[in-house]
Chain A
């Protein structure tokens, strides 16, 4: 599986470089007097995370569809489950890389005495939902890809991007404040319920993807 994750990263190495630049740009925006202080910084982290992982996932699907290479992968001793696993794992790996980059730049900013909100580094209550929202978003995209392909329904991805992107941003803001909307449950319970729901959807997307690819007639 690692081999296939490396393959996706290799095929998008230029995009990976851009990721680094984007991470630096995101940090610069945070501290350029744009008013993105406090919780605004969290939104920027979310935007950055979703935009990069979404681009990566989508381009990886685009490459597979354009080259008809899922058929090539399946002609190797590789099961349909392994192909799907590698796509999900690749997306998670990139998310980790993106988060690591954000931490790296934050540490760099701290060292340079930039006015970074102290809680950003420490506040896992926010970063966990942010990571989960990106995971949820990309899992839905992957499930759509494995069921219907990419090029044939390209327009759906464009529409879904705006729907899920802005939806995710809202979700990302709602999740940390769950106790405000649901006063009967504690923030801890709310976070666990939210995470469980997101993970359930991710699991269903993964399961659906495996099933769709196993039954699919490849070109």
Chain B
């Protein structure tokens, strides 16, 4: 267990009849924001629930803030704020009452801050949960998760299901409250632009596995759309090694490279590539390629 890590997952296996979560390793350091990207059904929510011990894993170790997620579950949860994908608050209770209820479990609960957050997000304290819109419920969940000033915040698709205008506003407000340098945040979403705005690190999930995890800026630097013509079949074989995914037609290659340094163009040319073109890729393009497993 590494105390410097906000989250560390090792060899996690959780089997369902039709799906397996299989995370070999995932970690990110304290004080950073990790964006967890992946299509619906990739296993993002299952992984976050496993971290919260809401879903039991068959194998592997999970540590949050340097503590074992099972042995020190209560201690961890006192320092964690969790916003689930679906609202699971009592529909019959009001926002104010829920604040009172939840406050009993946290020593660091700040009533004034909670009221401030409710006002900031435009949630009426006396309004019952069932009367709130989907965005309102998500905002209330976020207020409840933030009011004890957690060291680690787990946000499971907080923007899904919100219309673009509300989402934009929600993200703006969210960014204001989560950008505290001492706080670690895991923000999962299938909406790449949301992650692009907030994350320091990005992890991609597909089919229950983490297929890529890196610093956001490094990812954008390393990944390039590549096209070239291979001089001969021997060159083609050598050049394929530089492409994560590609398609070929008459020795014309179009693909993407995930290990692009400053000298990629030169390297490819040396190995027999002609007409080399490199284009930067957005996170969205990278995610689409990885999700599909093809160019």
Contacts and interface: CB of A to CB of B under 8 A. Distances in A.
A79 B82 CA distance: 16
A204 to B, nearest CB: 23
Interface residues of A, number: 21
B264 to A, nearest CB: 45
B89 A79 contact: no
Chain B: interface secondary structure? loop
A3 interface: yes
B54 interface: yes
Interface stretch (A69-77, A110-118, A138-146, A160-168): A69-77
Interface in B173-195: none
Contact of B101 (A7, A66, A215): A7
A3 B101 CA distance: 7
B54 A75 contact: yes
Nearest to B91: A67
B89 A77 contact: no
Nearest to A216: B56
SS class, residues of chain A in contact with chain B: helix
B49 A10 contact: no
B259 interface: no
B88 A217 contact: no
Contact of B55 (A3, A69, A78, A217): A217
A11 B94 CA distance: 10
A71 B54 contact: yes
A77 B90 contact: no
B55 A77 contact: no
Nearest to A78: B105
B102 interface: yes
A68 B141 CA distance: 14
Contacts of A67: 88-91
Interface string B63-104: 000000000011101100010101011111100010001101
B84 to A, nearest CB: 7
A31 interface: no
A146 to B, nearest CB: 15
Contact of A77 (B78, B84, B93): B78
A69 B105 contact: no
Contacts of A3: 101, 104-105
B92 A77 contact: no
Contacts of A63: 90, 92
Nearest to B154: A75
Nearest to A3: B104
A10 B93 CA distance: 9
A218 interface: yes
B106 interface: yes
B36 interface: no
Interface of A: 3, 7, 10-11, 63, 66-69, 71-72, 74-79, 215, 217-219
Interface of B: 49, 52-56, 73-75, 77-78, 82, 84, 86, 88-93, 97, 101-102, 104-106
